[in-house]
Structures are given as C-alpha cells and as structure tokens.
C-alpha cells in the first residue's frame, strides 16, 4: 500500500481536499490504494444456492472481497379480484435497495407465449401508492411476499450480494447476486461472470440466465436482474 507522497504537508499539490487528482503523476492519495468508485449498474447473475449465507460470506471474504454494506430485495404479489380474474393477470412488484427510487413491476400472463412476453415496467416509488388505490381490482397477497436481505461485498470489478430469502418469516433459501460492473452489454460480461461462478459456485455454471447467453449486444437493464430474482422466488414458492 502506498504510504502517501511523503511531502509532509497536509494539503499537498497532488491532492485537493482529499481527492486524488488523476493527472498528478508525482503525488498519490495518502492512505492506500486508489479506490475504484462504485460504478453504475452492471450485468448481474443471480443464483440460488443450498449453502448457508455465512459460508458464502466467508468464501467471498477469504477470496479478497470487502464488505461495503447491506442490501434488501423484496417482492410482493398482487392478485386480481374474482370478478376480474379472467381479464387481468397477476402482478409482481419488486424493490431493490441498489435502486432506491425505483419500483419494478412484472406482470404474469396466463399464456406463456414467447412471441408475447409478459409486460414489465420500471417506475418510481409512487407506483406503490397507486396500487393501494387500485385495491378494488388488485389485492396484495400478504402471504406471498418474499424478502431477500443480506450483505454486499466489493470484489474488484464485481459486486457480490449474499442474502437469505424469507417468506412470511420462514427461511426459504439463500440467493447470491454477482454483478460485473464495468459493462452494460450482457454478452460482453458473459465470460467474466462464467469465470467467477466457476471459481466460487462451480455447481451453478449450468444455470446461466438467458439474457447473458444471448449473442446479441442488447443492453442489460435492472429489470433483467429483478426478473431473475422473481424466477428464483417462484421456484422457492413451490418448495415446501
């Protein structure tokens, strides 16, 4: 670790108010390696594992990951009332602590027609208030609410979030989200994510999400991450 410039001044020419100047070739920021700022959203691969949260956390920390905070992902289900059951489908509303101002909505249609994928949307948090006004058509299923909460780690270019999934107080499983931050293009991150999974979760290599395996260079969005979470929650719902 670099000890600093050694000039002895509190405010040396190489730094301004504690921030390192990228063009300064002479002085370095005092107190350690240059920190990589947390970038914008990257490409994520969410897996559900049988291991315990503690063991995964120890694994990440032993590999060099540093803890940076906590995270929460929750999913609520809104079902249509009996009179409208034939007209409108079920709606899943998700929130992710990494996107504090957003609400993600994933609709469920009766037919799984690949040509007509179910509608998805991202809106601001006010959407939840609107849903409460629509209680005449859509009613929240309190028993079907999922929560995934845990710890977030920074691992070079990766962000790893390890959390326990609970439904109504009972633990359902452990979910891990691995986010490769430098790129937004899904297929560009595919190799790096595969390598990471292979290193830490070799049993999960087959569960690669479809969005990452696509050869097209579509931009990855937050909805794709939450979609992966919802699919895991659906699987866990069926579990006893």
Partner 1 sequence: MYGHGAGGSGYSMGGGGPLGGANLMGRKDKGISVALEPYGEWKIQEIGYDGMEKFIQPESFADHVGKLARKIDWRTLVDSDQSYDNPNLLPEDELPEEEDDEEKLEDETEKEKKEFPPEVGPWHDVAKNLHESLQHINMMLDGLQVMQHLDYLKPLSIGDPIQINEATQEAAVIANNGKAFQWVWKRKALNEVQNAIEASNANRRHLAVGGEASIDETTSLTNLFFREIEELCLQWRIRKTGDHLYGALGYKRYGQRFEPGEIFDITRRSVPINYSDKDGKLQQTILQISVPNDLIRRSKIFVSIFKDDMMSKAIHTSDEANLEYMKVDMKQVDNLYWNDALSWAQETLICRDTFNQLATDAVHLKQRMSSFRDGVLIVALHDDYLLRIELKNYPFKAGDLPDGGDPYLNRALRQMIVNHHAKKVIRSQMFVEMPLTMLNEHLDMRGPNAFTQYEIDERAKRQTCVLEKLLSVASHQRLVKLTVDTLIRYQNECRDPQVKWRWLRCAPTNSQVMIHIVDPHFDFLMGRVTSYLQIDTDCVTLRTKDGKTIDCYRDADRLFNTLKYVNITYFLQAAGTLGKTGWGYHILHGNNNAIDVDGNPPTALLVQCDEHKGAPHSIPHIAIRKSTSRSCPMIRTSITRSFHSNFEKLPGKSFCRKFDNLCAILKD
In the complex, the residues that contact partner 1 under the rule CB under 8 A are: 10-11, 13, 16-18, 21, 23-25, 37-41, 97-104, 122-127, 129-130, 221-223
Q: Of 113 and 124, which has the nearer Cβ to partner 1?
A: 124
The least CB distance from residue 152 to partner 1, in Å, is 11
The least CB distance from residue 144 to partner 1, in Å, is 24
C-alpha span between 31 and 105 (Å, rounded): 44
Structure tokens at 170: 């009972």
The set of residues, in sequence order, having a beta carbon less than 8 Å from that of 129 and lying 6+ positions away, is none
How many other β-carbons are positioned within 10 Å of the β-carbon of residue 47?
20
The set of residues, in sequence order, having a beta carbon less than 8 Å from that of 195 and lying 6+ positions away, is none
DSSP secondary structure string for all residues of 32-73: SSPPPPP-S--EEEEEEESS-HHHHHHHHHHHT-EEEEEEEE
Q: Of 90 and 98, which has the nearer Cβ to partner 1?
A: 98
The least CB distance from residue 14 to partner 1, in Å, is 8
Q: Of 80 and 99, which has the nearer Cβ to partner 1?
A: 99
The gap from C-alpha 220 to its chain's centroid, in whole angstroms, comes to 12
Q: Of 59 and 185, which has the nearer Cβ to partner 1?
A: 185
The least CB distance from residue 228 to partner 1, in Å, is 15
């Amino acid at each position: 670790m670099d000890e600093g410039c050694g000039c002895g001044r509190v405010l040396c020419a190489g730094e301004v108010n504690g921030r390192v100047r990228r063009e300064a070739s002479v002085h370095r920021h005092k107190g350690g390696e240059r920190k990589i700022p947390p970038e914008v959203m990257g490409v994520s691969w969410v897996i559900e594992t049988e291991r315990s949260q503690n063991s995964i956390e120890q694994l990440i920390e032993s590999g060099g990951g540093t803890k940076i905070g906590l995270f929460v992902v929750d999913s609520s289900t809104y079902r249509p009332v009996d009179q409208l059951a034939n007209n409108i489908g079920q709606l899943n509303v998700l929130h992710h602590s990494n996107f504090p101002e957003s609400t993600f909505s994933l609709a469920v249609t009766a037919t799984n027609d690949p040509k007509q994928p179910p509608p998805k949307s991202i809106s601001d948090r006010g959407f939840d208030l609107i849903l409460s006004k629509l209680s005449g058509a859509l009613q929240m299923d309190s028993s079907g609410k999922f929560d995934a909460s845990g710890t977030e780690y920074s691992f070079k270019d990766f962000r790893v979030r390890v959390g326990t999934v609970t439904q109504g107080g009972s633990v359902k499983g452990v979910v891990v989200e691995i986010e490769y931050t430098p790129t937004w293009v899904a297929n560009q991150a595919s190799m790096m994510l595969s390598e990471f999974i292979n290193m830490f979760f070799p049993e999960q290599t087959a569960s690669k999400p479809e969005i990452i395996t696509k050869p097209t260079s579509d931009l990855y969005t937050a909805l794709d991450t939450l979609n992966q979470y919802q699919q895991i929650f659906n699987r866990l719902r069926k579990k006893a």
